[in-house]
Amino acid sequence: MNKPPVETPADLRILQARWVRARLALYHVLLACALIGGWYLLTEPVLLSPKAALRMAFFFGRPLEVIKVIIEWFISGKIYPHLAITLCETGLAFAIGVVLGIVVGLWLALSPIVDSLLDPYITALNAMPRVILAPIFVVWFGLGMSSKVALGVTLVFFIVFFNVYQGIREVSPTLLSNARMLGATNRQLLHSIYIPSATSWVFSSLHTSVGMAFVGAVVGEYLGSSRGIGYLILEAESVFDINTVFAGILVLTVFAVFLDLVVTRIERRMLRWRPVQSQTQ
């Protein structure tokens, strides 16, 4: 007679972690249902009078109408060209901004003289509200995709740059001294110490950068465009179609969360070498 398998402490921890994740996912669903339910009750003549419910619906829309607009967009195919443009602008702004932020962050962090020279200019550019550059980019690059990508790059770049810069500067001087005593070259220090140190900081900045890339694309479409989710929202605002406005916002939010989940998956794969917190204590 076969004996039942004995559960090890590691198996119990895995089961407990899965149970915690499942319970948290359930809470997320319940919270979303509660928010949508409250939205519905406040915009329909259920809790409020018909006049008050109509006033609330004018400002916040009706959830059923918003869902109806989204379904109609996807069934008719109207949203696909606009969504493709916005996602393309977001992806390009995100990729270019991340690469530039990593390269410039490494360069300045490892070059004290250049860092001292450019530090006041970097600080001044970071303090500048980048959204006000959008009209200038329209003049420089036109109403096409380039102006939206340029605006998104300015929003993503500084987030990644400062995280990479800080990650390099946080490297322990003792660790660097020991590595140099063992004969490590500058290239070996870069690959074995500096880049691994900055990697965690880079991924922590990517989650914010995804949202900023979307902001750059949508704000650029607001200022001048004939395609994109931002254009659909602006077109709906011009005729006070609040349901379509919220539909566009909801679509943008869903895709932004999806891209953030993709970044999280990549982060977990690339940072497997990083010890778990319980292992470091």
Closest alpha carbon to 252 in 82, 94, 98, 95: 82
Answer whether 168's CB lies under 8 Å from 194's CB. Answer: yes
pTM of the model: 0.78
What distance in Å separates the CA atoms of residue 262 and residue 21, rounded to the nearest whole number?
A: 18
Give φ, ψ of 240 to 5 degrees. 55, 40
May I ask the CATH architecture of the domain 62-275? Orthogonal Bundle (1.10)
Give φ, ψ of 49 to 5 degrees. -70, 160
Among positive and negative, which fits the CA dihedral 40, 45, 47, 49? Answer: positive
SS3 241: coil
Answer whether 189's CB lies under 8 Å from 179's CB. Answer: yes
Alpha helix (H) residue ranges in the chain: 9-43, 50-60, 63-76, 79-109, 112-127, 134-141, 145-169, 173-181, 186-189, 195-223, 229-238, 242-270, 277-280
Give me the pLDDT at residue 9, please.
64
Alpha helix (H) residue ranges in 44-78: 50-60, 63-76
What distance in Å separates the CA atoms of residue 156 and residue 84, rounded to the nearest whole number?
A: 20
Give me the pLDDT at residue 114, please.
83
Answer whether 159's CB lies under 8 Å from 100's CB. Answer: no
Provide the residue count of the chain.
281
- List the Cα angle 246/248/249 in 5-degree steps: 60
pLDDT means over runs of 10, the chain (281 residues): 55 72 84 85 77 80 88 88 89 90 85 82 82 82 84 89 81 70 70 72 79 85 80 85 88 86 77 50 42
Give me the pLDDT at residue 241, please.
84
Give me the pLDDT at residue 260, please.
81
Answer whether 267's CB lies under 8 Å from 203's CB. Answer: yes
Among positive and negative, which fits the CA dihedral 239, 244, 250, 255? Answer: negative
What distance in Å separates the CA atoms of residue 184 and residue 175, rounded to the nearest whole number?
A: 11
What distance in Å separates the CA atoms of residue 176 and residue 28, rounded to the nearest whole number?
A: 44
Give me the pLDDT at residue 96, please.
92
Query: For residue 1, what are the contacts with CB-CB under 8 A and spacing of at least 6?
Result: none
